[in-house]
Amino acid sequence: MNLIDGKKVASEIREGLKKDVLKLKEQGKRVPGLVTILVGDNPASQSYVNGKIKSSTEVGMLSKLEKLDKETSEEKLLQMIDSYNRNDDFDGILVQLPLPGHINEDKILNAVIPEKDVDGFHPVNVGKLVTGQDTLYPCTPAGVLELLKYYKIETRGKHVVVVGRSNIVGKPVANLMLQKKPYADAIVTVCHSAAKDLSAYTRQADILIVAIGRPRFIKADMVKEGAVVIDVGINRVAADNPKGYVNVGDVDFESVAPKTSFITPVPGGVGAMTISMLLKNTYKAYLMRTGN
């Protein structure tokens, strides 16, 4: 079994970006800008957003946090997005999900102009991904591909089974793995909670990608010997420590790991990559917007 070290790969990406941003500064150019909009006080969202602000600042980008009250109206949020759409200092606009129930998520994701959509959630960017056009790809799925590439895990013609069909992970990662490109070009099966016998699918996977948000759900008997297991889950479970919780994945790491050829831990696996991919997208949006 080989452990996939997302923390190390993510840190190397950030070091590279830091140099790129420094070069822009030395040339007297504007640096890439990212605005993160957080509505409400969901503790997990707050912690993710803090990480985004810290990392974007550390690589030298212009980084701004817009914190809005949980009662903020949809109209007010749309107005804010519109002002950043037109603000040339910012290349990336990220609206942290989930949003409070009174706000229509689709309407918000549609409002960020595709050129600044560093989450890759706008239908135009989703359409480009599905049709194989270069664009801004969703961060967590892009992080999965980056890890496969870093560890030179062959994917061409391999059976990738994705468990989960969310717009944030399941659907985009399946589409990325399907692309006719290196470290993709796979045979892809997507399965989800309606499967009568989920393990009949998961046991066929050469590469199993799990994103269902259920703690330690995938057990050893659901995984083929020698498979590559990519665990996208981050679930808070109660624990007897000062924080009162620990984060665990969707995979029962203890029992599954010995059967695998490669596996991502939680924490320190895919989750560690998401922010670095967001910064990469912000830099890419900057280059596209400035005509580079």
Nearest distance, CB of residue 193 and ligand GUN, angstroms? 19
Rule CB under 6 A: is residue 55 a binding residue for ligand GUN? no
Rule CB under 6 A: is residue 96 a binding residue for ligand GUN? yes
Note if the bond before 242 is cis, omega within 30 degrees: no
Nearest distance, CB of residue 202 and ligand GUN, angstroms? 23
Rule CB under 6 A: is residue 250 a binding residue for ligand GUN? no
The residues annotated as belonging to the active site are 52, 96, 119
The site string for ligand GUN over 115-154 (x = CB under 6 A, - otherwise) reads ----x-------------------xx--------------
Rule CB under 6 A: is residue 72 a binding residue for ligand GUN? no
Query: Residue 280 to residues 58, 136, 224, 246: CA-CA distances in angstroms?
Result: 13, 9, 34, 28
Complex with ligand GUN: residue 48 or 286, whichever CB lies closer: 48
Complex with ligand GUN: residue 68 or 97, whichever CB lies closer: 97
Of the chain, the end-to-end C-alpha distance in Å amounts to 42
Strand 235-238 to 245-248 pairing: antiparallel
**Helix, coil or strand: residue 94:** strand
Nearest distance, CB of residue 66 and ligand GUN, angstroms? 13
Amino acid letter, 176: L
Q: Which residues, listed in sequence order, are joined to residue 50 by a DSSP beta bridge?
A: none
Rule CB under 6 A: is residue 173 a binding residue for ligand GUN? no
Complex with ligand GUN: residue 87 or 167, whichever CB lies closer: 167
Sign of CA dihedral 243, 248, 252, 258: negative
From the list 95-103, 215-223, 228-236, 246-254, the region that binds ligand GUN by CB under 6 A is 95-103
| CA–CA separation, 173 and 175 (whole Å) | 5
Q: Count of residues for the chain?
A: 292
Complex with ligand GUN: residue 119 or 250, whichever CB lies closer: 119
Among residues 168, 184, 208, 223, the one that binds ligand GUN under rule CB under 6 A: 168
| CA–CA separation, 80 and 72 (whole Å) | 11
Nearest distance, CB of residue 127 and ligand GUN, angstroms? 19
Rule CB under 6 A: is residue 112 a binding residue for ligand GUN? no
Complex with ligand GUN: residue 96 or 202, whichever CB lies closer: 96
Nearest 5°: the CA angle 263, 47, 4 is: 15
Secondary structure E strands in 96-227:
159-163, 187-191, 207-210
Footprint of ligand GUN on this chain (CB under 6 A)?
94-97, 119, 139-140, 168
